[in-house]
Amino acid sequence: MQLAHDHTKSSLSALTLAAIGIVYGDIGTSPLYTMQEVFDHKHGLALSPENILGIVSLILWGLIFIVSLKYVTLVLRANNRGEGGIMALAALTLESVGKNSKMYFPLVILGVIGASLFYGDGVVTPAMTVLSAIEGIKVATPALKPFVVPITLIILICLYAVQSRGTATIGKFFGPVMVVWFAVLAAMGVYNILRVPAILEAFNPMHALEFLYFHRWAAFIALGAVVLAFTGSEALYADMGHFGPKPIRAAWFFIVFPALGLNYLGQGALLMIEPTAVSNPFFNQLGDWSIYPLVVLSTMAAVIASQATISGAFSMTKQAISLGFLPRMKIIHTSSKEIGQIYIPVVNWLQLAAVVGAVVGFGSATNLASAYGIANTGTMLVTSILTFFVIRYGWKYNLALCIASTSFFLLIDISLFSSNALKFFSGGWFPIALGFCICVVMLTWRRGRSLVFDNLKKHAIPLEEFLESLFISPPVRVEGTAVFLRGEADGVPHALLHNLSHNKILHERVIFITLHNREIPWVPFSERIKVTDLKNNCFQVDVYYGFKNEPDIPNALELCAPFGLVFEPLDTSYFISRQTIISSPGGGMAMWREGLFVTMSRNARDAADYYQIPSNRVIEVGAQVEI
């Protein structure tokens, strides 16, 4: 992955094409199901010209206010050193308010909730988009209805099965395919607009306001379906680090927004003259001859949209690990050139299991629509709240200006979330339940690590005092370099005490290395290393990483050369304390949470593997830590 400031090396057009393929897959496939769900019989909306104009007007102005103004104009500016997404925004918010603020912990909780909802939405998106695309075959041949779910499952299983190969090859085709997709959306829209030019009146916002005023409760319920047109907005922000804001803005204003707007207008025009097309407005736009080609094209677009959410889950997990919200996991880099292309097996297969459960359990896109939207609008709401704290405490803007710039969007987000909350018992519980489970896991891991940190700090032996007393009567020193990992709160590493107690020796050069995770995405090499001379050829090396940097201790040691520390790989041994976490009565958490934390600790990825240390140079020493 390139840093945002490196994007100037690539042409704006190339980055814009790539952004169309990666960023806009989710929101770009919304026309597949939005109008169909809005006029579904359960909402009780009559298919009248006034209602059609009102709904299309709501969608158009929602795209203007929510996507164009909120995300593209405002939120893209609230980036964390060029990186976006709910975790990056949460880290930026916490940095803005400071650890001593009374709002710090509530904002931690809010950030975790936003991230958890993102995971829940990431499960529903692949199921919803692929199901919607495959359901097009029912429009052509109702006899094929029993095959919709099996075909959907086959496509999704194949998609998840190839994740370990990476997205480098298929990613090259994402942009061109989505350009064709948006061109087709625009062409179908223009075709039907020419049939009913009166639909262009939907640009008048009075139609949206009149619809809300005269229908009130029914309109409020319908918002839960209208919001489907905006799902995927969070991807604009989450993928900013891949491309930078300029390509994302260019893609939206010049290609994506015009295509979506034209297609929604075209579907509205179609419903005005052919009310029977309401069963599936998207696939009925051009007649029977176009259904099968549209099924193929929409399936490709749905797979691309699904790939974006899967890759997003991998990136989100890696950030959460670096920020201390999840245990270490096996992360496989699928590209030697792009650091952002990663594969996390545990996340991949757990997400597939949840997606399969959603497809089988709900059975149709209409049923899944009840589950779709609530998690997305929840994340949108959290984004608006966190943005307020960034512009107020990070950018130091005037309080009145901060309130004015975010309260309008908060009102919209609250309205959309409230409308979707009505669907909780009809399916909305599913992504919320997933998000709740992930939230519990993340908060439990953070709390457990905090308790371990406090326990180690309480029993730590100060390192400098220990070394001073040690060299009064120094042990036998042997050739080579010993590298001891120690946490920020640790004193003397347990591995060093073990080595002195059992082997009675000390290497001729001793390095104590401590990793510091900062709440920023990238730490440049020039600021990565700090070396402190502890005397007697002992050194403390502090290594600083951002949540998107790759922990690599051998590489970090190479950066010590300007400080006079040069390491020969064959003469360097790494001593790692292998912690065994055991729970104890009154440990600070409920027993079931302690058990969960202990289980995660035991299954966390091996530290040596995670930090890229050659296994043949590692000496592990066991140690028990109570919580």
pLDDT digits (tens, 9 = 90+) for 312-361: 888 888 888 888 899 988 888 776 555 556 788 999 999 999 999 999 99
Which tokens sit at 593? 């949470």
Highest mean pLDDT among 117-126, 264-273, 442-451: 264-273
Cβ proximity of 444 and 596 under 8 Å: yes
Tokens of 447: 């709390």
Q: Are 484 and 510 in contact (CB under 8 A)?
A: yes
- Nearest one of 223, 294, 240, 232 to 257, comparing CA atoms: 232
The whole-number average pLDDT for the span 412-428 is 91
pLDDT value at 42 more than 70: no
| Radius of gyration from C-alpha coordinates of the chain | 27
* 519, pLDDT greater than 90: no
- Using alpha carbons, select from 135, 110, 106 the residue that is nearest to residue 36: 135
> pLDDT band for position 196 (50/70/90)?
very high
The Cα–Cα gap between 432 and 222 comes to: 20
| pLDDT of 599 | 87
> Beta strands 505-517 and 538-545: pairing type?
parallel
Phi, psi of 545 (to 5 degrees): -125, 145
pLDDT at 188: 97
Write out pLDDT tens, residues 129-140.
999 899 888 887
Whole-number Å distance between alpha carbons of 401 and 385 = 14
At 229, list the tokens: 């047109």
Q: How confident is the prediction for the chain on average, in pLDDT? A: 87
Element counts in the chain: helices (H) and strands (E): 26, 8
Specify the higher pLDDT residue, 508 or 582: 508
User: What integer pLDDT is reported at residue 142 of this predicted model?
Assistant: 83
| Amino acid, res. 170 | I
244 vs 237: CA distance, rounded Å: 10
pLDDT of residue 346: 92
Segment 112-128 shows an average pLDDT of: 90
Distance (Å, whole) CA 339 – CA 326: 20
pLDDT at 183 over 90: yes
Question: In the predicted model, is pLDDT for residue 4 greater than 70?
Answer: no
pLDDT over 90 percentage in the chain: 44
- Which residues are CB-neighbours of 197 under 8 A, at least 6 positions away? none
Q: What is the pLDDT at residue 7?
A: 40
What pLDDT was estimated at residue 270?
Answer: 96
Per residue in 534-576, pLDDT (tens digit) is 999 999 999 999 887 888 899 999 999 999 999 988 889 988 8
Model confidence pLDDT, tens digit, residues 249-270: 999 999 999 999 999 999 999 9
- The C-alpha atoms of residue 456 and residue 567 are separated, in whole angstroms, by 30
Residue 403 reports pLDDT greater than 50: yes
Top-confidence residue, 427 or 456: 427
Name the β-bridge partners of 529: 543
Terminal Cα-to-Cα distance of the chain (whole angstroms): 38
Amino acid at 40: D
Question: Is 289 in contact with 112 (CB distance < 8 Å)?
Answer: no
pLDDT at 201: 96
Instruction: State CA 347 to chain mean position distance.
Output: 12
Q: What CA–CA distance (Å, rounded) separates 131 from 151?
A: 9
- Show the tokens assigned to 324: 């201390």
pLDDT attached to residue 613: 85
H-only helix segments in 274-344: 291-322
CA dist., res. 344 & res. 476, Å (int): 44
Q: Are 627 and 588 in contact (CB under 8 A)?
A: yes
DSSP, collapsed to helix, strand or coil, labels residue 572 as: strand
Would you state the structure tokens that stand for residue 62, as one six-digit string? 């929602």
Beta-bridged to residue 495, according to DSSP, are none
Residues 408-412 have a mean pLDDT of 92
Measured between alpha carbons, how far is 556 from 561 in angstroms, rounded to an integer?
10
How much is the pLDDT for 489?
Answer: 66
Q: Any bridge partners for residue 626, and if so which?
A: 582
Mean pLDDT score, 104-122: 91
> Pairing between strand 342-343 and 505-517?
unpaired
Distance of alpha carbon 372 from alpha carbon 231, whole angstroms: 8
Q: Tokens at residue 589, please?
A: 């958490």
pLDDT at 532: 94
Residue 600 is encoded by which pair of tokens?
Answer: 């995660």
Instruction: Work out the pLDDT band at 586, boundaries 50, 70, 90.
Output: low
State residue 584's pLDDT score. Answer: 65
Q: What is the pLDDT of residue 170?
A: 56
